[in-house]
Amino acid sequence: MNLKDIHNVYFIGIGGIGMSALARYFKFINKNVSGYDRTSSPITDELIKNKILVHFEDSMDSIPENFKRKENTLVVYTPAVPSTHSELNFFLNEGFEIKKRSEVLGIITKDSFCFAVAGTHGKTTTSCILAHLLKECDVPFTAFLGGISEDFNSNFVLKGTKYSVVEADEFDRSFLQLSPNVACITSLDADHLDIYGNGEELEKSFKDFTKRLKPEGVLFIKNGLALEGVTYGIEDDSDFRAEDISVENGTYIFNLVTPKGVLKEVCFNKPGRHNLLNGLVAFAMAAEANFPMQELANALGTFMGVQRRFSYQIKEKDFVFIDDYAHHPTEINAVYQAIKEMHPKKSITAVFQPHLFSRTRDFAEDFADSLSQFDMILLLEIYPAREEPIEGITSDWLLDKIDNKRKKLISKSELIAEIKKCKAEVLVTMGAGDIGLEVPKIKRELAYAS
> Between the CA of residue 442 and those of 103, 148, 153, 300, 313, what are the distances in Å?
39, 20, 22, 31, 9
Give the span between the Cα atoms of 214 and 179, in whole angstroms: 6
Neighbours of 104 (CB within 10 A): 22
Ligand-binding site membership of 142 (annotated)? no
Ligand-binding site membership of 122 (annotated)? yes
Q: How far is CA 159 from the centre of its chain?
A: 21
Could you tell me if 412 and 437 are in contact, meaning their C-beta atoms sit under 8 angstroms apart? no
Ligand-binding site membership of 106 (annotated)? no
Ligand-binding site membership of 305 (annotated)? no
Could you tell me if 178 and 166 are in contact, meaning their C-beta atoms sit under 8 angstroms apart? yes
Could you tell me if 323 and 436 are in contact, meaning their C-beta atoms sit under 8 angstroms apart? yes
Nearest in space to 116 (alpha carbons), one of 215, 24, 217: 217
Ligand-binding site membership of 73 (annotated)? no
Residue 266 β-bridge partners: 254
Q: What is the DSSP letter of 306?
A: B
Ligand-binding site membership of 436 (annotated)? no
Cβ contacts of residue 229 below 8 Å, gap of 6+?
185, 210, 218, 219, 220, 221
Task: For 205-241, give one letter per residue: b (16+ CB within 10 A) or e.
Answer: bbeebbebbeeebbbbbbeebebebbbbbbeeebbbb
Task: For 144-166, give one letter per residue: b (16+ CB within 10 A) or e.
Answer: bbbbbbbbbebbbbbbeeebbbb
* Sheet bearing 240-248, strands edge to edge: 154-158, 141-149, 163-168, 113-118, 182-185, 218-222, 230-234, 240-248, 251-258, 261-268
Give the span between the Cα atoms of 347 and 357, in whole angstroms: 29
Q: How far is CA 90 from the centre of its chain?
A: 31
Give the span between the Cα atoms of 321 and 298, in whole angstroms: 28
Ligand-binding site membership of 125 (annotated)? yes
Residues annotated within the binding site are: 119-125
Residues annotated within the binding site for ATP are: 119-125
